[in-house]
Structures are given as structure tokens and as C-alpha cells.
Structure 1
């Protein structure tokens, strides 16, 4: 999922000192308004604004719109636990940091904690989910390790400058690279046969496989995990952070996060058993 590796935009340079300036912390705000506001970037499988009118499981309604995906489903569970309503606020990964600082919403799931973003907002000390770098490749490719993919005969497409570009350039430096401007170009190269595979993160690769109706997703060994986190404003009072940390840990280890992911895959017509899990314990 390329948005996951994008850099934060908007207001930066703030720190925990901002918490001292807030009259009302997030926990108090949620309790007073009886509303939990979730930032949502329309990026599958994390957030999807569904205008199809589908009655498939996993639909979360907010302000007259229907949302699906891991974020809305988990957000609804958190709101229900708090006894408040869930309000989904549309944003982007690039502007989420500034939107949180501006109090446009209370938190955002699947927002990666980067050093730049951490200058401005707070993050959970645990992961919401984990993603491995994978190769979407032809069905006849038998390689299962990064060492086996480290071959000039293997032509791999990557998005120029992405985390996957940097990673596979180190893990399999002898492969033949096609560095392209975006994921659509990389997938088009794979579809046309100009490359043998594309390096992506697991969820992105599985959705691409379903859309293209070709190829298979390989998690080369050793698997290298990336954590997806959750961002929220700095507060002098850690009550909201404590609630999120405990709740997300429970949701992850109880399987609720994975279940929300699989529910969206099923909505998209993908057999969850053929997709890369977002629980790293399942990769072995």
C-alpha cells in the first residue's frame, strides 16, 4: 500500500508541549460530546467509501455515508466499547497530521508512525497490523527467498523511491529493476509481461492480484515486517492513549483486526485464505 510509505504533510514541528495548551484532552472531549471521530483516507483495504448500496457485511454508516474496511470496522468497535457514536471524517494520509493537530478528528488507524509525523502527533506504542514486503509474480516462478530472487534473470518492477524500492534493492540487488513512477505503471508492466514481478506490501499485492486476475503473491523468506500504527493528538492526560493501546492490543491478538481485513477481502471477492495475513505470527 503505497500511501502507507508516504510522508506526512501539513503542520509540522509541534511537540508534546502542545498538550499543555489544550483546554480539553481527547478523552474528555469524547466523553462530553459522546462522539468518537475517526480520520479515514479512502484507500483500500483500510478505508473504502462505498456508494454501491451493497448489503454485504462490514458496512459502517456515518453522516449519511457508508464506509468499509479495517479502519471503520475497528473504529465502530471502539466507539461501541466507549458507549458513544462513531463519526468518520474523510482525510488523506498526507494531510492527516495537520488535521489531527487542528482537532478535525480524534485519531486515525493505519497511520504509520514516522519520525517526521512524531514531531507533531502521538502514536500507539504497539502495531495495529503488520505488513511484509512481497512479490506479486507469475504462477510459474518458484523462488521463495530474497536470495533466490537475487538473479539478473528476474525482472522486478518497483515504484521509484518507495520503501519497496529501497528494500528490494538491498535484499536482491542483482535482480533486473524497472523503476517506475507509480503502482499503476508497475502493475501495467507486470500485466504486459515486461517484468516478472512487482515488489509491494502484502495487502496491496493481494488486491492487485484480484483486480488483474493473474499471478500469485510470494512472501519471500526471511519476512521483513512493517508496522502500521494509529495517530492522535498529544494530551497531557494519557487516558485516551491508554484506552487505545489496551483496546488495539486486544483486537490484534484476539483476531479482530485480521477478521476485519478478511471481511473486506471477501467484499472484494478475494478468498481470505489466499491472501497475506496482516498478523506477522501467521507468516512462518
Structure 2
């Protein structure tokens, strides 16, 4: 596929990316811009938002903030075609370790946040001939990971919510899918590594957990998101694309040379 054709893929379309100021969200925003979309980034902190994107300070944990942000995007661009529900927060620990308040805080952002943004966006998406929602899920939704009980529960809900939304809105012309990254090389993972007793050993362990032997690049997740959001993928809905180096489905034998 030529670079020119790729650049025209999202021409005339308006895309919204939550949590798009850093990490995977920033990579998604940049890729959508490269492919011709007009992009708005909704984030609690707008420092670092791509210079060509519309930055809208938003708390996706608050319905009024979300509705005001959607209104601002539509006022600026005149329409809305694509929503990337990428914003999320992490949590560590077993089911014993997180308080009720922490459960509510994480679920409010990771799950209800998707509902808030989608709910506010749907009236505009229904008017688009290329409407798509892509949610950021995780390999944690389908693989049991230690010390991630709350985070895993939230991402399992994202996977189920994606499928329910796809069923509800297919006949309205709105496709809904999700991506499920493995452990990605992002600032959040970097902070986790920095807090470990032995950051280098922890990084090596995370890399070894993924069959391709490294962390997932944010740009690789962005490519998968753009595939799902693209008007060329009109028959793809209600699905999850794993971008995890084979972590979910592959069982390789140990490398005898290591």
C-alpha cells in the first residue's frame, strides 16, 4: 500500500482519543494524524499533546466534564466519527490488597469512563457513515496475571462491554471493537519498573513473559487501533485484537540456548 493511500485513509474524519497525551494514547493520536484524521485528545493533563491535535482537558471520571469535552470537539470540527476509549489507570495487588475506594476509583475510570464517553459521543456517531469506537483492553482480561486482581477485573469488563456495545449499535452503523495489548513500553510500566527492588531484573522478567521476548511498542498498538477504526474495516465489529507478542495463545518451549 502506498504512503499516499495510507495518508488518505482517514481524510475528512474526526477522531477523539482519551488519554492521548502520553504512552499508547499519544501513539494512537499521532498515527491517526499521519493517516489524515483530524484528532482531538481528551486528557486530565494536556501537556505533551501532539501539536496538530485539539487538546481538551477532561476528567473522564466526571459526566459533566465528558459532555463538555464532546461538545467542544464537535464545536471545533463540526462532527465526530471515531472514538478511541484509551484512558485508564492501573492497580496492583491481590483481591485482599485494594480497598473499596480503590475499586471504585479504578472501575470508575477504566469501565464507567468508557460508558460516559461513548454515551456522550453516540448521538454524533450515528450521523457518521464511518462511525467506529475502539476500546483499549488488555491481555489481563483473558490471562490470569499475579498481583493484578482489580486491574484484571476492570479489563475483563472492558472486553465484555465492547461486545455488548457492538451488538447494541451495529444496526445504527456504529462498529465497536477493542485492542488487547500485552505489557507495553509505556511511562506507566516505566514507573512500575522504577519502583521495583531490581528494575532491570523486573524488565527482563516482563520481556520473557511475552513469547516474542520484548515489551510491546506503543506504535504497534496504535497500528491495530487504526485498523479497527478504519472505514476499510467495515465488516469488523465485536472483536478484540491481541497485540501481545503471543502471550495469550502461544506456548513456546524454553529456548535451550538461553
TM-score of the superposition, structure 1-length normalised?
0.22
Q: State the structure with bigger RCO (CA 8 A, min sep 6), 1 or 2.
A: 1
The structure with more strand, counted as a fraction of residues: 1
Q: TM-score, length-normalised on structure 2?
A: 0.23
Higher helix share: 2
